[in-house]
Each structure stands twice: as C-alpha cells, then as structure tokens.
Amino acid sequence: MKIGFIGLGIMGRPMALNLIKGGHEVTVWARRAESMQPLLAAGARAAASPADAARGNELVISMVADAPDVAEVMRGVASGAEPGLVAVDMSTIAPGAARRIGEELAAAGVDFIDAPVSGGEVGAIAGTLSIMAGGSQAGFAKASPAFACMGKNIIHVGESGAGQVAKAANQIVTGMGVLAVAEALAFASKNGVDGAKVREALLGGFAYSRILENHGQRMLDRNFKPGFKSWMHEKDLNIVMQTAHELGLCLPGSAATAQMFNAMVGSGHGEEDSIAVLKLLEKLSGQAS
C-alpha cells in the first residue's frame, strides 16, 4: 500500500520502519528534516509537507506530540488528500479533540481513524504495540494491513474518539497501577520487610499484574531510566482529568494519582520513568533513598 507517515520521533521512527519492512511504499514527513534521514536510508521517499505526504497515497498516519499538532498536520493532509484517503492518528490526544478533528476531515471527504497505541518504544521497535482504534469500519479495514506491521493486539473499539477513550482508560489503569506498586513496596520497606520477597509472594496471587512484575522489578533495581517518561504520563492523566471535568465524572483515584505525577514533574522527575513516583513517596514519608 502507498502510505504517508508524519512524525518520526521515538515512537514514529520504528513504526514507519516496520511499515517499510512490511513491504509498503512509504512517504515520510517530519518537522525536523534530519529526523527523516534514517527512513530515507531505509527506502522511504521524503515529502515536502503534510499535504505532500497525503498526495497520491491511500493511507496517511500521524504520530506527533499533542492535539494542536495533530490538528495542524491533518489540515495539511486534508488539503493534499485525494478521494478515498484514510487518515490515521496514532498520537495520544483527548477523545473530544479526536472527534473534532474527525468531523473536520469528514467535511473534507477524508475518513479519520484515531488509533493510539500502548507498549512504548520497545513495542514500537518489535512491532508488538497494542492498537486501539476508533472510527468507521471501512476506514479501520483499510488501515488494518498497516496496523498489522506495527502491532499485535489490534482492537476496533468503536466510533470516532473511542480509541482515545480506550487509551485514556489504559492510562488510568497504568498510572494507578504504578502508584499502587510503588506504595506497596514503600509500605514493605518502611516496615523493615524485603520488597523483593513481597513482590515475589504477590506475583502468585490476585495482585499479580504486568506492572507489579516489570515496573516492580525496576523499582527494586532503582532503575529510573525511561521507559515511559513521567511528564508524558502526567500529560495523559491530564487528558483523563479534563475529560472527567467536562463530563461530570467522579474519579477520586485518578485525581490523587494525577497530583502525584504533577508533583513529580514539578520537582524535576519529569524526564525519569513514571516509576520514579516511588522516590516521591519515599521523600514524603521521610524514607532515605
């Protein structure tokens, strides 16, 4: 398939590479021209603009930072679109913003799919991302061969915005999950009990989770290298809290968690992995770290 790919950061670069490996004809565009180099070396064609990345292609994918960036590149895509184009945004943005962009593109005759991912840089490189999509059945079907190159667990969740709703729900579970594991380990430590043994014991029971297994181990190793940076998790939890505010939805656990991440970013832990929330807990409880 002929695919345009916009946004070649930590996630976008390996995702675009996997499309090339999957035999697709890929055109790339990135704000900083030098980030296109590795893709051009792998056989991609360079586009001069988002509009140019859309021109002559059946599918366009964006992977950028935030909702205003998505809206901007998609306006460009719409101006270069030919009939039948499907535009897929794989960034994490607010569900409401995704719906609005979908409506704008529909007015320009472009079918828009929101398809945020979970699985991080590791998943992007391995092509094992979880992809949660919202939008039309036809658009999802058209994008599916591309999704298959980038991910493993690919779910069409529902209508436009539904993919972003699923991603926000994912961030609620992972945000609170990381905090829960950090609290459990801080609890063990302040009681003078070996956290490693506690983790091991819990892994066999109902408290088992991938976060307890993976993030828990990294907390014990005190390996705070990202992974998933705290400031990005904070940004995603802000999407959750803004949406809850707009809907009139009471989320006390997410609210408390969002404040912990807010404190992490404010105290200079934003570039560390989200497991650095353990350090914040230790500071608040007067535990030496």
Distance CA 19, CA 118 (A): 18
- CB of 167 closer than 8 Å to CB of 190: no
- Nearer to other proteins by Cβ, of 138 and 249: the residue is 249
Of residues 219-238, those binding other proteins (CB under 8 A): 234, 238
205 or 252: CB nearest other proteins? 252
Residue 190 appears among annotated catalytic residues = no
List Cβ neighbours of 40 (8 Å cut-off, separation of 6 or more).
Answer: 28, 46
Residue 35 or 238: the one with the smaller Cβ distance to other proteins is: 238
8 Å CB contact between 73 and 50: yes
Q: Which of residues 251-270 bind other proteins (CB under 8 A)?
A: 251-252, 255-256, 258-260, 262-263, 265-267
Q: Catalytic: which of 2, 142, 152, 167?
A: 167
Minimum Å gap between C-beta 177 and other proteins is: 19
Report the residue number, 81 or 176, with the smaller CB distance to other proteins.
176
Interatomic CA distance for residues 119 and 18, integer angstroms:
15
Residue 245, interface with other proteins (CB under 8 A)?
Answer: yes
Looking only at the bridges linking them, the beta strands covering 117-118 and 129-134 are antiparallel
Beta-strand (E) ranges in the chain?
2-6, 25-29, 45-46, 59-62, 86-89, 111-114, 117-118, 129-134, 151-158
Part of the chain binding other proteins (CB under 8 A), chosen from 128-136, 166-174, 208-216, 242-250: 242-250
* Residue 243 beta carbon to other proteins: minimum distance, rounded to whole angstroms: 10
Candidates 42-50, 100-108, 129-137, 246-254: pick the segment binding other proteins (CB under 8 A): 246-254
Residue 265 beta carbon to other proteins: minimum distance, rounded to whole angstroms: 5
In angstroms, rounded to a whole number, what is the distance separating the alpha carbons of residues 262 and 283? 15
- The one-character DSSP state at 229 is B
Binding residues vs other proteins (CB under 8 A): 234, 238, 241-242, 244-245, 247-252, 255-256, 258-260, 262-263, 265-267
Residues taking part in catalysis: 167
